[in-house]
Amino acid sequence: MGLSAAHAEKDVDVENGDLEGEKERVLRSVKSAKIPNQALLSGLAYCVSSCSMILINKCVLSSYDFNAGISLMLYQNFVSVIIVSGLSAWGVISTEPLTFRLMKVWFPVNVLFVGMLITSMFSLKYINVAMVTVLKNVTNVITAVGEMYLFQKHHDNRVWAALFLMIISAISGGITDLSFHAIGYTWQVINCFLTASYSLTLRRVMDTAKKVTRSGNLNEFSMVLLNNTLSLPLGVVLIFLFKEVDYLYETPLLKLPSFWLVITLSGFLGLAISFTSMWFLHQTGATTYSLVGSLNKIPLSVTGIVLFHVPTSLQNSMSILFGLLAGVFFARAKLKEKSQSG
């Protein structure tokens, strides 16, 4: 789905419990206003924006039957670039200049980022929100194995137990899914590999990218601007390759003001997730942030089933709940692992 770079990173990092140093970056990049009960308010804002983003994308792709997922991603990323550039110009946020050296270093990460967003769009068109949420857990398994081989990082038994539960829930969920769609599941599996690759590659490229910036740092807003800006020319090329231009020329949806309102809102929400996630992390901490991120998937899945009238069974519902709880267990296990290793 057409998320900002920061949201894509948060989705991976939160589930992996990998938030070391994030709070310091937040403190440097966000100036928080004096509002009472900020922890509660920021938590609600984060939950509402992240849930709304997925549900609106599902609405555009399924309810409107919009068959141009790459174009939707391109428009959402364009909205993010405009907003972040404007906020940076007004001095509300600080971003690094997008030099040729920085973009050259970042380009491999951006290719994975674009692939991750596009495959997410394609899978969400065919699979219900609840099953997408459960199947995304497979990303954690791939990432954990990648960390073990690439970074020689070893995980304790609780983490592997949670990963095993995630695999079981994904398999049982797919078997009992009454609206099973082979194409959608194929795209989601590809998405899991690309998301894990993005996360692992990002960690390797981050240090190199910081060295070619003027300040020696690369905050989250700079990554949002960098990823979304680089995605624009790549997205245009893919639109022609996948022949979405012909579809856009013929579809009557682009003549509907309500459709433009919805997709523009999705662009704002994609960026809102970045702001609210940093605000929430600033007001609470890694533990609360991680657990809320995992628990947030439960109401999202239920809402997705109800809003889109998804046919389900007791077995499938239990598989989905099992997978969501496994995600919470995984977040707790990773946090305990980090606290013990620290």
Please write the tens of the pLDDT for every residue from 97-127: 999 999 999 999 999 999 999 999 999 999 9
- Residue 303 in tokens: 């809402």
In angstroms, rounded to a whole number, what is the distance separating the alpha carbons of residues 324 and 314? 15
Instruction: With CA atoms as reference, report the closest residue to 182 among 133, 122, 242.
Output: 122
- For residue 14, what pLDDT is reported? 37
* 25 has pLDDT over 90: no
- For residue 285, what pLDDT is reported? 63
- For residue 305, what pLDDT is reported? 87
Which of 17-21, 97-101, 211-215, 252-256 has the weakest average pLDDT? 17-21
Mean local confidence (pLDDT), 315-325 = 87
Considering Cα of 120, then 124, then 46, then 140, what sign does the dihedral take?
negative
Which of 16-20, 24-28, 282-286 has the weakest average pLDDT? 16-20
- For residue 150, what pLDDT is reported? 84
- For residue 342, what pLDDT is reported? 57
- For residue 230, what pLDDT is reported? 95
- Is pLDDT larger for residue 220 or for residue 132? 132
319 and 172 Cβ atoms separated by less than 8 Å: yes
Percent of the chain, pLDDT > 90? Answer: 39
Backbone angles phi, psi at 226, to 5 degrees: -65, -50
DSSP 270-323: HHHHHHHHHHHHHHS-HHHHHHHHHHTHHHHHHHHHHHTT----HHHHHHHHHH
Any long-range contacts for 101-104 (C-beta under 8 Å, 24+ apart)?
101/212, 102/209, 102/212, 102/213, 102/226, 103/226, 103/230
- Residue 265: pLDDT band (50, 70, 90) is very high
**Average pLDDT taken over every residue of the chain:** 83
* 53 has pLDDT over 60: yes
Instruction: With CA atoms as reference, report the closest residue to 122 among 271, 242, 262.
Output: 242
Percent of the chain, pLDDT > 70? Answer: 86
Asked whether the whole model's pTM tops 0.85, one would answer no
Contacts (Cβ under 8 Å, ≥6 apart) of 223 = 5, 6, 9
SS3 90: coil
Mean local confidence (pLDDT), 252-263 = 94
Instruction: With CA atoms as reference, report the closest residue to 72 among 254, 250, 246.
Output: 254
DSSP 103-114: HHHHHHHHHHHH
- For residue 220, what pLDDT is reported? 80
Please tell me which of 1-5, 135-139, 189-193 the model is most confident about, judged by mean pLDDT.
189-193
- Is pLDDT larger for residue 281 or for residue 55? 55
295: how many CB neighbours lie within 10 A of its CB? 16
- For residue 20, what pLDDT is reported? 46
171: how many CB neighbours lie within 10 A of its CB? 13
SS3 180: coil
* 31 has pLDDT over 50: no
- For residue 5, what pLDDT is reported? 43
107 and 56 Cβ atoms separated by less than 8 Å: no
Backbone angles phi, psi at 30, to 5 degrees: -125, 130
- For residue 155, what pLDDT is reported? 83
Please tell me which of 172-181, 206-215, 238-247, 288-297 the model is most confident about, judged by mean pLDDT.
238-247
112 and 198 Cβ atoms separated by less than 8 Å: yes
pLDDT 10s digits, 152-167: 888 888 888 888 988 9
- For residue 233, what pLDDT is reported? 95
- For residue 291, what pLDDT is reported? 64
* 23 has pLDDT over 60: no
Instruction: With CA atoms as reference, report the closest residue to 163 among 187, 139, 197, 192.
Output: 139
- Residue 188: pLDDT band (50, 70, 90) is very high
Considering Cα of 92, then 229, then 190, then 140, what sign does the dihedral take?
negative
In angstroms, rounded to a whole number, what is the distance separating the alpha carbons of residues 244 and 71? 7
